[in-house]
Structure 1
Amino acid sequence: MAELDLNELKRRMEGAVTSLKGDLSGLRTGRASASLLDPVTVEAYGSQMPINQVANISVPEPRMVSVSVWDKQMVGKVERAIRESNLGLNPVTDGTTLRIPLPELNEERRKELVKVAHQYAESARVAVRHVRRDGMDSLKKSEKAGDIGQDESRQQSDKVQKMTDDTIAEIDKLLSVKEGEIMQV
């Protein structure tokens, strides 16, 4: 039986945190950011492509995102993709440039976004706990098979638990920062 690889567990836990960061960056706060459009994909040249592969995204003003489409035949498709993205955005077309004014977030919408952020964080916590369970199961098997002693098993499981606690604390910190950004008026 192979020994428990703590680095592998750590890598998997960090993967959950990285995924959470990506999810949270897509949530809209009161100010514009280029990453706001990261979840948007466009039907281009026969396949789905991320919007940043068919256009340049910039933030000229705090409440405005500008999308400069490279191919003028794509402007309509990019505009449609943004409208249908469930981000609540209405682009205004000006030649090959789309200007996307960000509406003020009302209290109700802010609370909805906070709920979504909490769901993302909970999914990340669940993923981390799955990694922890895999590690603990592996330790129990090793101990049962006689590959490691009870003391070493306990030491290793303490390390896995500490790694889990640290990762969940990081997830909670990311969540509270994002919550602060969303609720900031």
Structure 2
Amino acid sequence: MAKYDKADVERRMDGAVESLKGDLSGLRTGRANTALLDPVVVEVYGAMMPLNQVATVSAPEARMLSVQVWDKANVNAVEKGISKANLGLNPMSDGQTIRLPMPDLNEERRKELAKLAGTYGENAKIAIRNVRRDANEALKEDEKKKEISEDERKRLEDEVQKMTDAHVAETDTAVEKKIQEILTQ
């Protein structure tokens, strides 16, 4: 059943790092970033929909997001969705456009966001280590079935550990970069 597949291990570890980068891009620094609104869902047409399916989000200025709602009837629902997302943004409606000025982050909020970035990093590392565990179990299974030798299993386990170390280092770098961004902007 379990068969070691290096490409699959690499893909799953890359996926954990990419997921982390997506999570980090949603953390707010002082600068406007359209990814900040990615988690926002809006109740329209009797269903919950991601904001990007009912409006266009842009960053016309460094400290301002603009949400162009496609259907005028959904403007209030979009405002409500942004407010419910608890992003610390104050929507200002102007026809079918909603402007979101980026407030300055206070020191306490910066520390909270930095801590959250660290938590995202830890979760990504756990996911990477889980992939390593699965790969090592597959290797032991392959050895038990006599498909590979003990020496081959040990060599491949070292290879898996090197992949793990590289992905954990990439995770640490991404988190450090984001924390610096949060604390300095």
TM-score, normalised via structure 2 length: 0.96
Cα distance in 2 for partners of 1:181, 1:2 equals 42
Q: How far, CA to CA, are the matches of 2:97 and 2:80 in structure 1?
A: 14
**Structure 1 position 69, deviation (Å):** 0.5
The letter of the residue matching 2:65 is V
Deviation per CA, 1:60-92: give whole Å up to 9, x if none.
211111111110000000000000101111101
- State the partner residue of 1:67: 67
What are the equivalent positions in structure 2 for 1:10-159 lying under 5 Å apart? 10-159=10-159
Q: Percent identity?
A: 57
| Separation in structure 1 between the aligned mates of residue 105 and residue 44 of structure 2, nearest angstrom | 31
1:162 aligns with 2:166: no
Deviation at 1:19, TM superposition (A): 0.9
One-letter amino acid of the structure 2 residue matched with residue 135 of structure 1: A
- How far is 1:2 from its partner? 5.8
Structure 2 runs not aligned, ≥5 long: none
- The runs of 5 or more residues in structure 1 that have no matched partner are none
Superposition deviation, residue 34 in structure 1: 1.1
How large is the Cα RMSD of the aligned pairs?
1.1
Q: Distance in 2 between matches of 1:2 and 1:124?
A: 24
Tell me the SS of whatever aligns to 1:103. Answer: coil
- 1:36 shift after superposition: 1.1
| SS of match in other structure, 1:67 | strand
The one-letter code sitting in structure 2 at the alignment partner of 1:21 is K
**How many Å apart are 1:45 and its aligned residue?**
1.7
Counterpart residue type for residue 19 of structure 2:
S
Q: Which moved more, 1:29-38 or 1:71-80?
A: 29-38
Q: CA deviation at 1:46?
A: 2.3
TM-score, length basis structure 1: 0.96
Instruction: Count how many residue pairs are aligned between Structure 1 and Structure 2.
Output: 185
Q: Deviations over 1:86-138 (max 9, x none)?
A: 11111011111111111100111000000111111100000000000001111
Cα separation, 2, equivalents of 1:149 and 1:105: 57
In structure 2, give the amino acid aligned to 1:94: D
Output the CA distance in 1 between the equivalents of 2:2 and 2:180. Answer: 44
Aligned to 1:179: 179
